[in-house]
Amino acid sequence: CHAEWREAVAAAAAWAIGELRSEGGSQQPETSLPPLKPQGEFRFAPASTAATMRLATEERYSAVADAAHGGDGTAQHTLGLLHYSGVGGAQRDERESAYWHAAAAVAGNVEALATLGGCVRR
């Protein structure tokens, strides 16, 4: 992993900590924390047949790219995963993967932050 990935993780973590502190953080009970934004991966419509499923899997990048560029943290996390594996119409590119995971973390996607942290830890 590259040094700029570490910087992206540090910036995302600092942002997340700042967000929690600005809402009272650990000084208030957990129930007073703001709700988390949608977490995890983008939710694709279920495929009804094997052929539809194959087509849907091959076109995941194009199906989620607009939402990711629009700031959707789940879509950004999904692009990061697609680039890391080189599937769904995305080219395998670890640097692009890290970019999208960092963007998703900044958008509030904790799973993306954890994924990016795993990359930096290697």
pLDDT in tens, 15-56: 666 665 565 444 444 445 556 566 667 766 666 666 555 556
Distance CA 66, CA 35 (A): 25
What number is the average pLDDT over the span 52-81? 84
pTM over 0.85: no
What number is the average pLDDT over the span 90-106? 90
φ, ψ for residue 15 (rounded to 5)? -60, -50
Distance CA 3, CA 120 (A): 8
Distance CA 118, CA 44 (A): 25
pLDDT value of position 75: 92
Six-digit token string for 59 = 């076109």
